[in-house]
Amino acid sequence: MDKEDGLNRAIKKYVEKTPGSKEFLSQTNEVMPGGVTANIKSFDPHPVIMKKGMGAYLYDVDGNEYIDYLLSYGALMHGHGHPEINKAIHTQIEEDGTSLFGTPHALEVKMGKKIQALYPSLELLRYTNSGTEATLLATRMAYAYTGKNKIAKFEGHYHGGFDQVLLSVNPPIDEVGLQHEPNAVIESRGVDSYHEEHTVILPFNDLEAAANILSKRRDEIAAVVLEPVQGGFIPAEQSFMDGLRKVTEELDILLIFDEVKTGFRLGLGGAQAFYKINPDITALGKVVGGGFPVGMVGGKKEIMMVSSPKASSDVFDSSQSLKSSAKDVLFHSGTYNGHPTILAAGLATINLLEKELHNVFAVTNQLKEGINKLFAKRGVAMQTIGLGSIFNVVITEQDKILNYRQLQQSNFKIRKEIDFRLLCEGIYTKPLNRYSLSTVHGEKEINRTLDAYDRVLMQLF
């Protein structure tokens, strides 16, 4: 029997195990297009609909229990409902008497100082409400500071849901063009072809080719933005990082680290501490919100100061005649920016991590090694790829996966079958997604996961 049949059988079993999720989707379809409010939450034949979370576990509407390795795409570093985070939220609201001041406040400074200590390249920072807003602001900062109007990003890298970066994230392989000079492939309806010209696509982990493109277009490109670890699991090589920093400096192009996934997951100081690189601008999100919507953008003082309202007026200033024009200052605003309750949750998250992050790394390595051994036992070529507290299981005979095109050559079909079978065994990640761990994943969860893997691989190989 071929593997397609195997996948169909695995999906059938999953459908049998999750009738309540299927039924519930008909209700979500009545209120949201495609039944979801974020496209990533959708998968065929239907996503699992969760009803309760506790520690490392999620429970679906059918009462099935899952060990959660998706952790809301990596955001939950302490699992679900951590008491210290819950306490911090309640304390903030009770002591401050409100969830929102609408003015600068103490927690903005407290969090800012904490971030500056752990990420010294963030000399000044601004708060946003999501990773998308953070990378969007970082891009505008780069345009404003350099006076140039193009951005370079790497093929296979995701930076959120706005027009300039919704290109070549997961492009069809027959549209990607040359390896050393990738095409810019638009990946959302509604994004104008203008962006094919204004977003330059670079090949990841290929310094020579990337440097070549950058030097040819140095007068147009304001910044290079990258996920230091592509998709959270394909690491940049150290020599590539060192070279990219050097080349961008030489060409007067800013370097933006999108650390929305890697921040606090690769180490307390993120990828920049790991690689010992000082980016010009950094975007943070996910973990640092403690399970609530947050983003941060920070960087060199002289760059960040382009948003300082003291320098000029802004669109809300009615006394415009007294100052210079709004367009002299980078506009950045937001009703909820620096939300006190979220910053309290974020600070509690960091405080806990300062004590416990090394344990998460140890547990992650234990799981990776266990999975590697189980595949090896069955003679299946694969790799667990990743750093810190995130990794992915890639079924491949290739030596090393360094970029999007190599990843596309791996066996997604078998991986998907494994994932659906694991879902039936109570191991949760969205099919084909990476694994993230938390401080509440321990020996018990790892053993249960490896037992489930063993049973699934036995059925398959």
Using CB under 6 A, list all residues that contact ligand PMP: 73, 130-132, 135, 158-160, 227, 258, 260-261, 285
Q: Which residue is nearest to ligand PMP (CB)?
A: 131
| Angle (nearest 5°) at CA 129 between 285 and 192 | 95
Tokens matching residue 448: 């249960």
Tokens matching residue 27: 């209700």
Q: Is the link from the previous residue into 182 a cis peptide, with omega within 30 of 0?
A: no
CB nearer to ligand PMP: give 241 or 382. 241
Cβ 134 to ligand PMP shortest distance, Å: 7
Tokens matching residue 285: 């999100």
Q: Write the single-letter amino acid at 201.
A: I
Classify the C-alpha dihedral 257-258-264-266 as positive or negative: negative
Q: What are phi and psi for residue 449, nearest 5 degrees?
A: -65, -45
Given the residues 119, 145, 158, 275, select the one marked as catalytic.
158
CB nearer to ligand PMP: give 14 or 274. 274
CA distances from 398 to 343, 402, 406 (A): 43, 10, 8
Given the residues 68, 258, 280, 419, select the one marked as catalytic.
258
Exposure string over 64-84, b if 16+ CB within 10 A, otherwise e: bebbbbbbebbbbbbbbebee
Cβ 75 to ligand PMP shortest distance, Å: 8
Phi-psi region of 177 (alpha: psi -120 to 50; beta: other; left: phi over 0): left
CB nearer to ligand PMP: give 107 or 134. 134
Alpha-carbon gap, residue 239 to 205, rounded angstroms: 9
Q: Residue 289: which of 339, 350, 345, 337 has the closest Cα?
A: 345
**Active-site residue, 286 included:** yes
CB nearer to ligand PMP: give 73 or 275. 73
CA distances from 107 to 134, 260, 304 (A): 19, 21, 20
Pair 457, 374: CB distance under 8 Å: yes
Q: What are phi and psi for residue 38, nearest 5 degrees?
A: -150, 125
Cβ 229 to ligand PMP shortest distance, Å: 9
Pair 332, 71: CB distance under 8 Å: no
Pair 359, 439: CB distance under 8 Å: yes
Other beta carbons within 10 angstroms of residue 171's beta carbon come to 22
CB nearer to ligand PMP: give 230 or 449. 230
Q: Write the single-letter amino acid at 333.
A: S
CB nearer to ligand PMP: give 126 or 421. 126
**Active-site residue, 317 included:** no
Cβ 231 to ligand PMP shortest distance, Å: 8
Alpha-carbon gap, residue 128 to 335, rounded angstroms: 10
Cβ 391 to ligand PMP shortest distance, Å: 15
CB nearer to ligand PMP: give 6 or 47. 47
**Active-site residue, 158 included:** yes
Given the residues 148, 150, 286, 368, select the one marked as catalytic.
286
Cβ 432 to ligand PMP shortest distance, Å: 14
CB nearer to ligand PMP: give 297 or 446. 297
Cβ 129 to ligand PMP shortest distance, Å: 8
What is the number of alpha carbons within 13 Å of residue 234 lying toward its C-beta?
Answer: 23
Cβ 286 to ligand PMP shortest distance, Å: 6
Other beta carbons within 10 angstroms of residue 290's beta carbon come to 28
Strand blocks (E) in 61-136? 65-68, 124-128
**Which residues are known to be catalytic?**
158, 258, 286
